[in-house]
Structure 1
Amino acid sequence: MNDKIRKIIFQIESLKQELESVLNEQDLLYRVEGTRIEFEEKFKQTHQLLREGLFQWFKSSKPRNVLSAPIIYSMIVPMVVFDLAITLYQHTCFRLYQIPRVNRGDYLVFDRHHLAYLNLMQKINCVYCSYGNGLLSYAREVSARTEQYWCPIKHARKIVDPHERYLYFTAFGDAEAFQSGKLAFREALRKGDIPIVDIDDVSDRNE
């Protein structure tokens, strides 16, 4: 990994942290107390006034939305099976690999039901979406750690939205970097290090 690539990756990580900090500052409309999220009284009143009643919500629903509902909610079955499979996989294989397991609770977050401007159906929909998207993020991290353990090699073709570990993988076709760095990738994974590993440093140590 040359200095220019290393510098760009560092800038990307710094900007991501800065963006997250700024966004969090803008979202300080509430406070978290244990498992509850509390809004100021003025916000509570506004939220309740803006809540759309169930009858009006159903009345204004588009026919296409109603028709798609059974298809959307039928996906709960494969999602739950997938959830169980991913969890079983990492709790067996990751223990064998001696690498940290992904904390499922960091990815499956359910808090939108605290919002008073949502009616019952909207809250149910939000819980469902939180589960589906959280599950995919959770599975992606499990898969990313698996890829780092077994095949930390970039593709020859560009891929859309790669996981954050992918940036540090060895270049496609760089056999020397892969052979010299594959054990270092595993060791870094066990330690939870990010940046994952610097192949140039590994190569220097092996010479």
Structure 2
Amino acid sequence: MTKETMMDAQLSELFEKLRAAETDIEAELTRRREALRYEMHNRRVVFEQEVRRLHQTMKTHTLRYLFEANLLVMLTAPVIYSLIVPMIVLDIFVMAYQAICFPIYGIPKVRRRDYLVFDRHHLAYLNIIEKINCAYCSYFNQTVAFVREVASRTEVYWCPIKHARRVLGPHPHYVGFADFGDADAYRERIADMKDGVKPGMLQ
């Protein structure tokens, strides 16, 4: 068995452990949903009536929320929300980029709707301002996640090489990249991309 084969086997084993961990996480989330007494119906969160009534008693009235807010936090809020404009522009440009380029490169497109999750408004203990804040955070972070996935698939196609230095928070496809300095592995991966990126290449 060659050194590269052994490394591939080790990576496959790590991926299996990762998939097993994801299964365990989903099982734990299911247990927590049961403990917090809510269910998912057609992607909609439904709490038991008793729990919903309890949540409503815990909601901070909007006027009180504003009155008790830190003045500096209030003053900096417009700065936070001003970022929505460049984020929307980025979102549109990245969607256009993958729509135009990915079919040419043979890269599977990233489904935008998979990165749009808005469900915090179902929480009765949030007032209208908190719900708006949560919706903004959801859109911002999920857009960043979408852009990252599009960028990572682009990197798989154009430059599947690990860095010499440690990368903080690498994307999921990074582990399949050729090692830094391994020219043979790089050329092999580039050759594999001749007919486009296959789903199996996206870990």
Give the TM-score, by structure 2 length. 0.88
CA contact (8 A) 2:160 2:189 kept: no
Deviation at 1:105, TM superposition (A): 1.0
For 2:134 and 2:153, locate their aligned partners in 1 and report how far apart those are by CA, in whole Å.
28
CA contact (8 A) 1:51 1:117 kept: yes
For 2:194 and 2:200, locate their aligned partners in 1 and report how far apart those are by CA, in whole Å.
10
Instruction: Find the partner of 1:32 among 21, 32, 40.
Output: 40
Instruction: Find the partner of 1:19 among 21, 25, 46.
Output: 25
For 2:132 and 2:78, locate their aligned partners in 1 and report how far apart those are by CA, in whole Å.
14
For 1:186 and 1:61, locate their aligned partners in 2 and report how far apart those are by CA, in whole Å.
57
CA contact (8 A) 2:33 2:39 kept: no
Q: Structure 2: which 5+ residue stretches go unaligned?
A: none
Give the TM-score, by structure 1 length. 0.87
Number of the residue aligned with 2:134 = 126
Instruction: Find the partner of 1:58 among 66, 72, 81.
Output: 66
Instruction: Find the partner of 1:193 among 187, 191, 200.
Output: 200
Instruction: Find the partner of 2:187 among 157, 169, 179.
Output: 179
CA contact (8 A) 1:107 1:134 kept: yes
| Cα separation, partners in 2 of 1:23 and 1:31, compared to 1, 3 Å | closer
For 2:40 and 2:101, locate their aligned partners in 1 and report how far apart those are by CA, in whole Å.
36
Q: Structure 1: which 5+ residue stretches go unaligned?
A: 197-207
1:36-71, Cα deviation, whole Å (9 max, x unpaired)? 321111111111011110011111111121011000
Letter in 2 for 1:48: Q
Deviation at 1:5, TM superposition (A): 4.2
Instruction: Find the partner of 1:167 among 166, 175, 190.
Output: 175
| Cα separation, partners in 2 of 1:131 and 1:32, compared to 1, 3 Å | same
- Kindly indicate whether residue 16 of structure 2 is the aligned counterpart of residue 10 of structure 1: yes
- Give the SS at the match of 1:37: strand
What are the equivalent positions in structure 2 for 1:121-160 lying under 5 Å apart?
Answer: 121-160=129-168
1:67-107, Cα deviation, whole Å (9 max, x unpaired)? 11000000011001000011000101111122211011111
Q: How many residues align?
A: 195
